[in-house]
Amino acid sequence: MEQAAAARVSEPVVSGAKVGKTFANGTVVALDNANFAIEKGSFVSLVGPSGCGKSTLLRLIAGLIKPTSGVLNLHGTQVTGPRQDVAMMFQRATLLEWRTAIENVLLPTEMQRRITSEDKDRAMELLKLVGLGDFAFSFPAQLSGGMQQRVALARLLQTGADVLLLDEPFGALDEFTRERLNIELLRIVSEIGATTIFVTHNIAEAIFLADQVYVMTPRPGRIASVIDVPIARPRELSVQLSPEFNHLVEEARVTLGAL
């Protein structure tokens, strides 16, 4: 009995076996033979140049597109379409301009059912969690780009999904804002225990954030190597100056350079 329980605990939240995806009648191999297993609560970065299949892998996990070959599992069941236990965030916040921040956060719930006062309380809590407690009734145009992405993050959390897929979520922001939001993202996902998959083309950012970095290479899109990041948490930005960190950056560069 105890052994069975232990086996369940270690079962990955997201896994793929020989996952492949082609487009244009098989002429474009966006993702080739991807094998992976992501543990509950862990943070995985996907890093690689444009066209190596990062977004394709996220969209497959989200159930937005179907694999051409192989099997993808989420919480132990096969992904066959969009589902409630996974949610995705993009580079642009795509907030509705005519709705306040809190009304935007409530949108995913509202699309499913009539919202309750508990939903509103939760939305307010999430806005506080992302540092926007004082801006709940502001409209997107009154918020900076970074603040708009914070609203999008709160909206993502409002879905209740515990697997978060982030496609360059802060990629359109300036470097200082991006670094600050990255640190806050780490705090938030560890606080709620979410499993996070984060796409970036920045090697240092990928390593700074992650427990594991999947280094991806194009033509065909492949997970070329998986780098474990054994750096203690919480992480300060200064960790990027350490020899250990730079060694990991070098390791990723070698994989990407050896195309």
Which structure tokens are listed for 207?
A: 């390593």
Q: Does 51 bind ligand ADP (CB under 6 A)?
A: yes
Reduce the DSSP state of residue 24 to 3 states and report it.
Answer: coil
Binding mask 166-205 toward ligand ADP (x if CB under 6 A, else -) reads: ----------------------------------------
Output 19 or 123, the one with its CB closest to ligand ADP.
19
Among 54, 155, 178, 222, binds ligand ADP (CB under 6 A): 54
- Please give the Cα distance from 171 to 92 (Å, whole number): 9
Per the listing, tokens 């709705």 go with 99
Residue 98 is a binding residue for ligand ADP (CB under 6 A)? no
Among 56, 158, 159, 255, which residue sits at the site for ligand ADP (rule: CB under 6 A)? Answer: 56
- When asked if residue 222 is in the footprint of ligand ADP (CB under 6 A), the reply is no
Q: Is 24 a binder of ligand ADP (CB under 6 A)?
A: yes
Interacting residue with ligand ADP among 14, 52, 61, 127 (CB under 6 A)? 52
In the complex, what is the shortest distance from the CB of residue 205 to ligand ADP, in angstroms, rounded to a whole number? Answer: 15
C-alpha distances in Å from residue 164, one per residue of 13, 14, 134, 215 = 11, 11, 25, 19
Number of residues that bind ligand ADP (CB under 6 A): 13
- C-beta of residue 178 within 8 angstroms of C-beta of residue 217: no
Tell the smallest beta-carbon distance from residue 49 to ligand ADP (Å): 7
Q: Helices 117-129 and 145-158 meet at what angle, rounded to 10?
A: 140
Residue 28 within binding range of ligand ADP, rule CB under 6 A? yes
Residue written as tokens 């793929």?
A: 16
Maximum CA extent, the chain: 56
Q: Which of 50, 80, 117, 238 binds ligand ADP (CB under 6 A)?
A: 50
Token pair 């960190």 in the structure block, residue: 245
What backbone phi and psi angles, to 5 degrees, belong to 114? -70, 135
Q: Output b/e per residue, 159-171; b: 16+ Cβ within 10 A.
A: bebbbbbbbbbbb
Using the minimum distance from each CB to ligand ADP, give the nearer residue, 3 or 50. Answer: 50
Residues that bind ligand ADP (CB under 6 A): 23-24, 28, 30, 48, 50-56, 221
